[in-house]
Chains A and B, each alone.
Chain A
Amino acid sequence: MITLPETRASMGMGKVAAGPPRGELRPGRLAFLLCLPALVFLLAIIAYPILHALYLSFHAVDLSALNTGEMPFVGLANFQALLRDGVFWAALRNTVVFTAVSVAGEVLFGLAIALVINEKGIALGVLSRALILLPWAVPPVVNGLMWGFIYSPSYGYLNVILYRLGIIKEFMQFLGNADIALYMVSIPYIWRTTPFAALLFHAALQGIPEELYEAAKVDGANAWGRLWGITLPLLKPTFTVLLVLRTGFAFMVFDEIFAMTQGGPGNATWVAAWYTYSQSFRYVEIGMGAASAYALALMIAAIAFVYIRLLYARVEYA
Chain B
Amino acid sequence: MKRLPKILLNLANVLVILFLTVPLLALVFASVQTERTLVGHYMDIIPRELTSVNFAVILGRPAPAMWSLPKAINAFPQAFGNSLSVATSVTLLTLVFASLMAYAVARLRVRWTQTMMYVNLATRLVPIIILMVPLFVTLRRLQLLNTLSGIIVTEVGFLLPYAVWILVAYFLSLPGELEDAARIDGCTRMGCFLRIILPLSAPGLAATAVIVFLISWNELLIPLIVTSKQEVMTVPVLLSTLVSDFHVYYTLMAAISLVGLLPSAALALLLQRYVVRGLTAGALKG
Contacts and interface: CB of A to CB of B under 8 A. Distances in A.
A301 interface: yes
Given A113-B16, A296-B127, A141 B265 contact: no
Contacts, number: 315
Contact of B26 (A28, A31, A146, A317): A146
B66 interface: no
Contacts of A241: 283-284, 286
Nearest to B111: A28
Contact of B136 (A109, A281, A296): A281
Interface stretch (A6-14, A17-25, A86-94, A177-185): A17-25
Contacts of B138: 48-49, 52
B214 interface: yes
A136 B279 CA distance: 11
Nearest to A275: B129
Interface stretch (B51-59, B71-79, B181-189, B200-208): B181-189
B198 interface: no
Given A258-B220, A258-B243, A130 B272 contact: yes
Interface string B66-96: 0000000000000000000000000000001
A42 interface: yes
B178 interface: no
Interface in B237-286: 239-240, 242-244, 250, 253-254, 257, 260-261, 264-265, 267-269, 272, 275-276, 279-280, 283-286
Binding site secondary structure of chain B: helix
Nearest to B12: A116
B285 A252 contact: no
A262 B244 contact: yes
A142 B239 contact: yes
A273 B127 contact: yes
B2 interface: yes
Contact of B131 (A46, A155, A157): A46
Interface string B115-141: 010010001111111111111111010
Contacts of B183: 17
A82 interface: no
Contacts of B26: 146, 149-150, 157
Contacts of A238: 284
A107 interface: no
Nearest to A151: B26
Given A127-B13, A142-B239, A147-B23, A301 B125 contact: yes
A195 B276 CA distance: 10
A103 B26 CA distance: 25
Nearest to A16: B184
B204 to A, nearest CB: 16
Contacts of B225: 281
A137 B267 contact: yes
Given A45-B131, A66-B140, A116 B160 contact: no
B156 interface: yes
Contacts of A111: none
Interface string A16-56: 01001100110110110011011101101110111011001
A239 interface: no
Interface residues of A, number: 110
Given A27-B110, A45-B156, A56-B137, A277 B129 contact: yes
Contacts of B9: 116, 119, 122, 125
A108 B159 CA distance: 28
A11 to B, nearest CB: 14
B104 to A, nearest CB: 4
A160 interface: yes
Given A45-B135, A146-B24, A24 B189 contact: yes
B170 interface: no
A200 interface: yes
A285 to B, nearest CB: 10
Nearest to A279: B133
Interface string A131-147: 11111111111101111
A207 to B, nearest CB: 10
Given A134-B265, A262-B244, A34 B104 contact: yes
**8 tightest A-B contacts by CB?**
A45-B157, A155-B42, A137-B268, A124-B13, A52-B134, A293-B130, A139-B218, A49-B134
19 contacts: A28-B108, A31-B104, A34-B104, A35-B104, A37-B101, A38-B98, A38-B100, A45-B158, A48-B138, A117-B13, A163-B43, A203-B284, A244-B125, A248-B124, A262-B243, A276-B133, A280-B133, A281-B136, A296-B130
Given A124-B14, A280-B136, 10 more contacts: A31-B105, A34-B103, A49-B132, A61-B137, A134-B269, A138-B261, A245-B283, A280-B129, A293-B130, A317-B285
